[in-house]
Amino acid sequence: MTRLSIAEELESAAVRVADISRAELQIALRRAALMLRNVAGVALEPATEDALNSIAPR
């Protein structure tokens, strides 16, 4: 998946948050977390890094 497709998936989930299943939301958030964690050169605060690792462990 590309960054654009993940962003579109998250935007779609935000629009239909009342209708999206918990499993679909978890998948979308895990994909976003993995992408954020794996982007080189992005410095994350420790709390943000911990949150990402709890959603998408290494």
What average pLDDT does range 41-47 have in this prediction?
Answer: 79
Q: What is the mean pLDDT of the chain?
A: 82
Domain that holds residue 9: 3-55
pTM of this prediction exceeds 0.85: no
* Per-residue confidence (pLDDT) for residue 58, from 0 to 100: 66
What percent of the chain is modeled with pLDDT above 70? 91
At how many degrees (to 10) do helices 22-38 and 3-15 cross?
A: 150
Q: Is 1's pLDDT higher than 70?
A: no
What letter does residue 40 receive in the DSSP assignment? T
Q: 34 pLDDT band (50/70/90 cuts)?
A: confident
H helices of 1-58, where?
Answer: 3-15, 22-38, 46-55
Number of domains observed in the structure of the chain: 1
